[in-house]
Amino acid sequence: MRKNIDAICIIDDDPITIFCIKKLLKFVVNCPDISTHLNGKIAIDYINSLVERKEAFPKVIFLDINMPVMDGWQFLEEFIALPIKEIIKINIITSSIDPLDIEKFEQFKRRTKHNIHFSHKPIGREEIEEIINRK
């Protein structure tokens, strides 16, 4: 049985990755609102607007690290400072093999109540299912 989620957010500057995640999500979840953003600045502005209007925000975020304008780490820094009461599932998806990225991930994981995980690209259907069903 597919899970129901009101909103999911994909933040990635690679249109192929966005396409693939959206395609895989269709097999795993019923979600009427999948927003996509090409960098962290556009995404944080979108989420700030939801906070200002007191609207529900995405329950699951797929976040790339390396993007122009505002990268994933800068996005996370601003996101975890927001007055969001719910615990959001944030899955970092990256092609990076830099050990410093794992260290940064661990630091963010310790600093926030949100459920943060780390995956490498390409991401497959089983990983999408695991992310969606994670508590």
Give the DSSP letter of residue 115.
E
Please state the φ and ψ torsions of residue 113, each to the nearest 5 degrees: -80, -20
pLDDT in tens, 44-70: 999 999 999 988 889 999 999 999 999
Mean pLDDT of the chain: 93
Give me the domain span that covers residue 22: 3-133
CA 40 – CA 65 distance, rounded (Å): 9
- Map 61-85 to HEC letters: EEECCCCCCCCHHHHHHHHHCCCCC
Residue 80 reports pLDDT greater than 80:
yes
pLDDT for 34: 96
Q: Taking residues 65-85, report their average pLDDT.
A: 95
Sequence length of the chain is 135
CATH of the domain at 111: 3.40.50.2300
Other CB atoms within a 10 A radius of the CB of residue 86 amount to 9
CA 134 – CA 50 distance, rounded (Å): 24
pLDDT for 96: 86
Number of structural domains, the chain?
A: 1
